[in-house]
Amino acid sequence: MKPMQPATISQRGNDGIEIQGRLDFASVPALIKQAERYLREAKPSSGFCVDLSGVDSSNSAGVAFLLELNRLCLQSQLTLNIRHMPQPMQTIARAHGVDEALNALV
């Protein structure tokens, strides 16, 4: 069994990003800065996709990352679309009462 890696971010075509690895308090601040760079390149009034299929694990920092990413998208006149949100992240979102807000983006 290989150890889980800290999260990394990469561009997903022209319309979003892919996240891989572990979303936690150590990795999320850097991911937000990197995501801001990709958001600046996106076209206003279009969709911006975040693909979470490569996420190995997450704590509440991962949910906070998605909420912050949505806020940044709204500021940039982009619509966030979340793909492949892992079940544990959905459970955390539900426990914190933000599941409906995130489910609207799936």
Mean predicted lDDT score pLDDT of the chain = 91
Is residue 10 over pLDDT 80? yes
Look at residue 103 in the predicted model and tell me its pLDDT: 86
Average of pLDDT values for 28-48?
Answer: 90
Angstrom distance (rounded) from CA 69 to CA 36: 8
Helical segments of 17-98, H only? 28-41, 60-75, 87-95
CATH class of 8-103: alpha beta
Is residue 1 over pLDDT 70? no
pLDDT tens column, 59-99: 999 999 999 999 999 999 999 999 999 999 999 999 999 98
> Could you tell me the sign of the dihedral formed by the alpha carbons of 102, 75, 60, 82, in that order?
positive
Angstrom distance (rounded) from CA 39 to CA 78: 8
